[in-house]
């Protein structure tokens, strides 16, 4: 519990400190919901993400696997070799090929079998949790390991990864469970990635926040 509270202070403090510097840039994209503003602006300032050609961020659009690889590798500051090839047969001519190659090399992503990555496939909450845990080498704080409190996670292939995000406060679930198979929106992915990145940069390994999430229809979730 002590470790969770320490981590909560790390991330909460980072968000408060960061938010004080972004008011001039708030809602650079008019479709970014209030709950995601700080995270989106944080990643924009790090040159991790940008908007769509129509001038919006596409907050409520679901995230594809190639975009997830790009966001996470850029957030980590991994040097991208535009000529590097991955082992996946279906990405060689895809715009995301160098990011996917870098993510594969770093152990962040795996394929879907038969030598395929499915770069246009959509990312679920469980899959996003897996990528972030692998990317940032996240671990649950000592003493917090155990069975998840979310019934819809119990026995799910992504339970271990989702539980780590919950233990660290990067994700808190909702009143309706954790919903591991729900597709992640761009705004949700930005919030999850920003929280993981802030925790990493502040040298923390734990974080917690008891506030429940509301999955994106109108409000945010993680």
Name every residue whose Cβ is closer than 8 Å to that of residue 58 and which is 6 or more positions away in sequence.
Answer: 31, 51, 52, 186
CA neighbours closer than 13 Å in the CB half-sphere of residue 106: 27
For 14-28, how does the pLDDT look when each residue is reduced to its tens digit (9 = 90+)? 454 454 444 444 457
| Side-chain-side CA neighbours of residue 142 (13 Å) | 1
- pLDDT value for 95: 97
Q: Quote the pLDDT of residue 215.
A: 55
Length of the chain, please? 222
**Cα separations (Å) of 69 from 32, 92, 95, 103?**
21, 15, 12, 6
Q: What is the mean pLDDT of residues 101-112?
A: 97
The pLDDT > 90 percentage for the chain reads 67
Q: Are 193 and 170 contacting, i.e. CB atoms less than 8 angstroms apart?
A: no
List all residues 6 or more positions away from 93 whose beta carbon is below 8 Å from its beta carbon.
none
Write the DSSP symbol of residue 117. -
> Is the pLDDT score of 208 beyond 50?
no
Report the alpha-carbon distance of residue 53 to residue 213 in Å, rounded.
Answer: 30
Res. 66: pLDDT tops 90: yes
Report the pLDDT averaged over residues 127-146: 90
What's the pLDDT at 202? 76
Of 219, 189, 172, the C-alpha closest to 66 is 189
pLDDT value of position 204: 57
With 70 as the cut, is the pLDDT of residue 192 above it? Answer: yes
Residue 188 — φ and ψ, nearest 5°? -65, -45
% of the chain at pLDDT higher than 70? 77
Q: What is the mean pLDDT of residues 62-77?
A: 98
CA distance 95 to 110: 18
**Would you state the pLDDT for residue 148?**
81
What gap in Å lies between CA 166 and CA 158, rounded to an integer? 12
For the segment 199-207, the average pLDDT, to the nearest whole number, is: 67
pLDDT for res 194? 98
Q: What is the pTM for the complete model shown?
A: 0.82
Give domain limits for the chain.
2-63+122-201
Query: Which DSSP letter does residue 146 get?
Result: S
Instruction: Say if CB 214 and CB 33 are below 8 A apart.
Output: no
- Evaluate whether 25 touches 49 at the Cβ level (below 8 Å): no
Asked if 135 contacts 106 with a C-beta cutoff of 8 angstroms, the reply is yes
């Amino acid at each position: 519990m002590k470790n969770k509270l320490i981590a909560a202070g790390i991330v909460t403090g980072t968000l408060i400190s960061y938010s004080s510097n972004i008011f001039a840039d708030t809602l650079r994209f008019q479709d970014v919901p209030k709950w995601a503003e700080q995270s989106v602006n944080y990643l924009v300032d790090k040159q991790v993400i940008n908007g769509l050609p129509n001038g919006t961020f596409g907050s409520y659009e679901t995230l594809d696997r190639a975009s997830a690889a790009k966001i996470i590798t850029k957030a980590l500051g991994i040097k991208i070799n535009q000529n590097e090839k991955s082992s996946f047969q279906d990405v060689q001519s895809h715009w995301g090929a160098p990011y996917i190659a870098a993510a594969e090399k770093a152990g962040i992503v795996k394929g879907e079998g038969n030598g395929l990555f499915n770069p246009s496939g959509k990312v679920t909450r469980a899959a996003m949790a897996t990528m972030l845990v692998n990317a940032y080498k996240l671990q649950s704080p000592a003493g917090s390991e155990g069975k998840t409190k979310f019934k819809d996670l119990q026995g799910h292939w992504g339970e271990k990864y989702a539980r780590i995000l919950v233990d660290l406060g990067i994700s808190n679930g909702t009143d309706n469970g954790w919903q591991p198979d729900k597709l992640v929106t761009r705004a949700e992915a930005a919030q999850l990635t920003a929280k993981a990145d802030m925790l990493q940069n502040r040298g923390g390994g734990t974080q917690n926040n008891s506030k429940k999430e509301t999955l994106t229809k109108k409000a945010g979730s993680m």
